[in-house]
Amino acid sequence: MIDFNLDSEHLELRDMYRKFAEERVKPLAHEMDEAEKMNMDLIKEMQQCGFFGIPFPEEYGGAGGDVLSYVLCMEEMSKADASTGVTLSVHTSLCASTIQEFGTEEQKQKWLRPLADGSKIGCFGLTEPGAGSDVAGARTTAVKEGDEYVINGEKIFTTNSGFADTFLVFALTDKSLPAHKGMSAFLVDRNTPGITVTADIPRMGIRAASNAAVVYENVRVPAENLLGGEGKGFKIAMKALDGGRIGIAAQAVGIAQGALNEAIKYDKERVQFGKTIASFQNTQFKMADLQTKIDAARLLTWRAAVAKDKGEPYNVYAAMAKLMASDVANQVTRDCVQFLGGYGFAREYSVERMMRDAKITEIYEGTSEVMKMVISGSLNLK
Ligand code: CAA
């Protein structure tokens, strides 16, 4: 039996996230984008509301929710502001969820608990200047010395790095092996000597999110900070990204729905040639197409989330959801700028920000081309 509707518990949560996003996030979105800076009071408030711990068990300080609830939160936050969305997403899916999945009991108490209870923020250091889609091209090393590892290298485009407390970092512990077998994952505290976070990289979209390069120079971490065992890093990164892609799909759905809602509001009021733009059949048919695509992307995203919640394989579902939702977000936001005409192009209206924000969903946490590699890899074509 398939039920495509949310149950009353999830509906209630969605309404709560929606109210928060409308009242607390939306009024700040324009200002944060212009300032290219996250409002940390907003993040604090979201932490206090438990939004940074949604899918984690209460025994680790989390809200005891599920991935579907997290996805609903991601959509609502991103509808109002995609920068807020990605801040939540990287913390939740790439950092904290990975500790939950691969951490020992001690590591979960020490590292997951403060991330889930809202006292700390996490980030994920995988991408390097020479290793983007090709994760196996990473060069950062972690050399064991006694009961410590010494990390050296440079990571780039590390979302949340400007303010994160906990860095989940990937480094080669055995350079003689391909990274698939020689890479390991480490939990690193921001205040460890040798870490330099650069200024945020100026970007086209999600400008309020923090995204910087991080240099690791003789960063010494205790051996107990190794996550999941030596040589397990590549597969840990892949699993983290499988989950992360569900969050980014939800972000893309949110951006698209947020833009369409703005365009509907505008086109019902804007009068040209003696009638509202919304009363033209061209507008109506185009909006019908866009809403249908958004719903399809949302259902793919929910399917991936529910599969993850049920403990079923979800990596291909996640890739399909992200591939489609990011494409839809780009189409919808571009059309919504058009729906608003000259005002759509003006910085004062949010759809131009949404169009700029949508682009990154086709790039980060795996480009659309990588999504196609993952999906086609499941089709037994060889
Ligand atoms: N789960 C578990 N294991 C996996 C896996 C998965 N999803 N995907 C691959 N593996 C395993 C394979 O089974 C294989 O295992 P064996 O060696 O035991 O056979 C091993 O990993 C190597 O697999 P591949 O040969 O497929 O690896 P590859 O080097 O060809 O790379 C890839 C595959 C899909 C292209 C991968 O590199 C990839 O996902 N690239 C994209 C990286 C990405 O998403 N980067 C985003 C960074 S984070 C970010 O965006 C910043 C941010 O803060 C938002």
Over residues 161-165, mean pLDDT = 98
Q: CA 318, CA 305: separation in Å to the nearest integer? A: 8
**Ligand 1 closest atom vs CA 374:** 34
Over residues 201-223, mean pLDDT = 98
Catalytic option among 75, 352, 362, 365: 365
Per-residue pLDDT at 3: 87
Helical axes 350-359 vs 26-35, angle rounded to 10°: 70
Q: CA 363, CA 357: separation in Å to the nearest integer? A: 11
**Ligand 1 closest atom vs CA 159:** 53
In the numeric block, the tokens 């890479």 are attached to 183
- Percent of the chain having pLDDT more than 70? 100
Q: How far is the CA of 184 from the centre of ligand 1 (A)?
A: 14
Q: CA 370, CA 90: separation in Å to the nearest integer? A: 19
**Ligand 1 closest atom vs CA 86:** 54
Ligand 1 atom 11, closest CA:
235
**Residue to mutate, 94, 121, 180, ligand 1, most ligand atoms under 8 Å from C-beta:** 180
Q: CA 285, CA 282: separation in Å to the nearest integer? A: 5
Ligand 1 atom 17, closest CA:
180
Per-residue tokens: 228: 């999941």
Q: For residues 17 and 189, is the Cβ–Cβ distance under 8 A? A: no
pLDDT at 2 over 90: no
The question of whether 217 is a catalytic residue gets the answer no
Pocket lining: 127 vs ligand 1, CB cutoff 6 Å: yes
Q: What is the pTM of this model?
A: 0.98
For residue 112, the tally of other CB atoms under 10 A from its CB is 27
Q: For residues 255 and 73, is the Cβ–Cβ distance under 8 A? A: no
Q: For residues 217 and 152, is the Cβ–Cβ distance under 8 A? A: yes
Which residues are CB-neighbours of 108 under 8 A, at least 6 positions away?
Answer: 60, 99, 100
Per-residue tokens: 211: 């995204």
Pocket lining: 373 vs ligand 1, CB cutoff 6 Å: yes
**Ligand 1 closest atom vs CA 123:** 53
334-369 residue pLDDT tens:
999 999 999 999 999 999 999 999 999 999 999 999
Alpha carbon 144 to its chain centroid, in Å, reads 32
Pocket lining: 201 vs ligand 1, CB cutoff 6 Å: no
Per-residue tokens: 350: 């949010």
Ligand 1 atom 15, closest CA:
180
Per-residue pLDDT at 343: 97
Per-residue pLDDT at 382: 84
Q: Label residue 152 exposed, middle or buried (CB < 10 Å: 0-12, 13-18, 19+).
A: middle
Q: CA 250, CA 377: separation in Å to the nearest integer? A: 23
- Percent of the chain having pLDDT more than 90? 99
Q: How far is the CA of 361 from the centre of ligand 1 (A)?
A: 18
Q: How far is the CA of 234 from the centre of ligand 1 (A)?
A: 7
pLDDT at 111 over 90: yes
Over residues 71-81, mean pLDDT = 98
Q: How far is the CA of 143 from the centre of ligand 1 (A)?
A: 23
263-275 residue pLDDT tens:
999 999 999 999 9
Per-residue pLDDT at 239: 98
Per-residue pLDDT at 88: 98
Q: How far is the CA of 238 from the centre of ligand 1 (A)?
A: 5
Over residues 328-332, mean pLDDT = 98
Pocket lining: 17 vs ligand 1, CB cutoff 6 Å: no
Alpha carbon 233 to its chain centroid, in Å, reads 20
Per-residue pLDDT at 1: 82
274-311 residue pLDDT tens:
999 999 999 999 999 999 999 999 999 999 999 999 99
Over residues 29-48, mean pLDDT = 98
Residue among 229, 186, 228 nearest 100 (CA) = 228
Run of H or E residues at 188: strand 183-189
Q: CA 25, CA 19: separation in Å to the nearest integer? A: 10
Pocket lining: 220 vs ligand 1, CB cutoff 6 Å: no
Over residues 103-131, mean pLDDT = 98
Q: How far is the CA of 122 from the centre of ligand 1 (A)?
A: 21
